[in-house]
Amino acid sequence: MSADHDLIIVGAGAKAAGIATKVHVANTLGLARLSVKVIEGTEVAASWKGRNGMTSGEEPLAVTPIKDVGFPYRSHVEFGEAGEAIDAAMAQFTWQQHMIATRRYARWVDAGSPQVRHRDYGEYLSWVLSRATEGIEHLRARVSQVALDEGGERWVVEAEEDGGTSRHTSRALVLTGPGIHRAFPHEPAVVDRVFHCDSKREEFARIPEGERCDVAIVGGGESALSATMFLRELRPDCSFTVYTPLLPMSRGESVLENRVFSNPDVVEWESLDLQTRRDFVKHSDRGVFDPPSLGKIAYDDRVEFALGRVTDVGEAANGEGVSLECESPEGVFQSEHDYVANCTGFDLLAQLRTLFPAATREEIERRVGGLWGRPAGSEVPIGRFLELRGMQPCLHIPGLAGLSQGPGFANLGALGLLSNRVLQPLLSGVHSSGSGEILDTHKPVA
């Protein structure tokens, strides 16, 4: 059993980078003495570097990197005057500082600040995490189980390392990552011809090189576009049909939408009805393609779009491909392809179910209400601190907070705001003093 921590973060990715920098800064400024452990199973920024699936690293990041770990730099809202000092200190972790430190800033600006690749973003996150050190401990281990301690007051995290299993406790926990691919009905006979949005990129090498294969990409969002961009490069002789349940749409990115990402309070997000919030997320984040990437395939004859919701995948009539069953406004139809990629989205709850033992899952439901049976994409009771509402000790799941708290919390849209919200319960004294003096970092939140 290792020492107790204020906070444990599972996953050293984008959200961990945002929170770790804020803790480093608060500790360095003398505003707090927080201790945080970041536990990462693969490598720092594993999701972005191109070595661990989901991306080759070459695909473009949909968001501008200047929405960096401190963005939107409005910490005065959560922490009063101390927030201004926090944001000033956060300036050492900006994307621009990273580019200056690696001597590429002028070249990037002169090129018109173009989109960056996933691997560039991964490099940035690694750079950030290697510098956010004050109060931060890293552990390379895969978290295999999360439970409550006997008193039900602390989280006990079990981590599998090379040397065996270790246990770590904390009074709050952050779970990160996008989750696992959504269930995709397909028959066992075609399993080798089915890929998923989180399939390791090398698995796609099963598509034979130099042949004119026909690949179905199912999904109308970022991961469908990401898979299409990747496969066009990997197998230039292939053709692709992207199946979207509704007409394919590009992402709404006007100043108005962007402002809601940076500051959901500007529209009093929590007071909007569910349908309005769902519609906003749908046209600005989920199930939409980012315009610059879409532009790159606009004149590509190899890529076509089809309207239909794929409901089942079976074997093609000749036994050498897949047959998709699709529902469209005109009725049900079948279509055959050589391979299919399931890019219908991620299911974070499905992944979390595997982390908590049955007794803990039951205890969580006893405190917060029905949770584990909810379908992917449904609203989860997430509070202002991006925590599961009603759960003590705090369990922060920002990836599930998009619908309840604001569209930027489930992605990279507002990592600075996300970290403020998560840390608010631990830094409650900073806000109430408003003077930059912390009163009591261990004071429980009312």
Q: Of the listed pieces 25-33, 55-63, 129-137, 430-438, which binds ligand FAD according to CB under 6 A?
A: 55-63
Our CB check for ligand FAD shows the closer of 137 and 312 to be: 137
* Min dist. Cβ of residue 341 to ligand FAD (A): 12
The DSSP symbol for 401 reads -
For the window 4-33, what string marks contact with ligand FAD as x by the rule CB under 6 A? ------xxxxxxx-----------------
> Rule CB under 6 A: is residue 293 a binding residue for ligand FAD?
no
From 412, 417, 422, 427, residue interacting with ligand FAD (rule: CB under 6 A): 412
Whole-angstrom distance between the N-terminal and C-terminal Cα of the chain? Answer: 30
Our CB check for ligand FAD shows the closer of 26 and 54 to be: 54
Q: Residue 133: helix, strand or coil by DSSP? A: coil
Our CB check for ligand FAD shows the closer of 169 and 223 to be: 223
From 63, 324, 386, 414, residue interacting with ligand FAD (rule: CB under 6 A): 63
* Min dist. Cβ of residue 116 to ligand FAD (A): 10
Our CB check for ligand FAD shows the closer of 39 and 430 to be: 39
Our CB check for ligand FAD shows the closer of 5 and 431 to be: 5
* Min dist. Cβ of residue 80 to ligand FAD (A): 27
Q: Return the HEC string of 300-311.
A: CCCEEEEECEEE
> Rule CB under 6 A: is residue 401 a binding residue for ligand FAD?
no
Q: Residue 130: helix, strand or coil by DSSP? A: helix
C-alpha 420/C-alpha 431 separation (Å) is 11
For the window 185-224, what string marks contact with ligand FAD as x by the rule CB under 6 A? -------------------------------------xx-
> Rule CB under 6 A: is residue 413 a binding residue for ligand FAD?
yes
C-alpha 167/C-alpha 387 separation (Å) is 22
The DSSP symbol for 346 reads E
Question: Are the C-beta atoms of 157 and 169 separated by less than 8 Å?
Answer: yes
Question: Are the C-beta atoms of 57 and 118 separated by less than 8 Å?
Answer: yes
From 72, 135, 177, 264, residue interacting with ligand FAD (rule: CB under 6 A): 177
From 50, 135, 178, 429, residue interacting with ligand FAD (rule: CB under 6 A): 178
From 31, 34, 143, 340, residue interacting with ligand FAD (rule: CB under 6 A): 143
* Min dist. Cβ of residue 89 to ligand FAD (A): 22
* Min dist. Cβ of residue 119 to ligand FAD (A): 12
* Min dist. Cβ of residue 102 to ligand FAD (A): 20
From 42, 263, 335, 432, residue interacting with ligand FAD (rule: CB under 6 A): 42
Q: Please tell me the count of residues contacting ligand FAD according to CB under 6 A.
A: 30
Give the DSSP per-residue string, 111-129: TTS---BHHHHHHHHHHHH
Our CB check for ligand FAD shows the closer of 52 and 441 to be: 52
Query: What are the strands, taking DSSP E only, across 191-348?
Result: 194-196, 214-218, 239-244, 303-307, 309-315, 322-328, 331-337, 339-342, 346-347
The length of the chain in residues reads 446
Q: Buried (b) or exposed (e) across 259-282, using 16+ Cβ within 10 A?
A: ebbbbbeebebeeeeeeebbebbb
Our CB check for ligand FAD shows the closer of 155 and 429 to be: 155
C-alpha 257/C-alpha 285 separation (Å) is 10
C-alpha 357/C-alpha 213 separation (Å) is 43
* Min dist. Cβ of residue 79 to ligand FAD (A): 22
Give the DSSP per-residue string, 354-375: HHS-HHHHHHHHHHH-S-TTPP
Q: Sheet of 172-175: strands edge to edge?
A: 136-140, 36-40, 7-10, 172-175, 394-396
Selection from 352, 318, 322 nearest residue 335 by Cα: 322
From 56, 176, 342, 420, residue interacting with ligand FAD (rule: CB under 6 A): 176
Name the residues that contact ligand FAD, by CB under 6 A.
Answer: 10-16, 39-42, 46-47, 54-55, 61-63, 142-143, 176-178, 222-223, 226, 399, 411-413
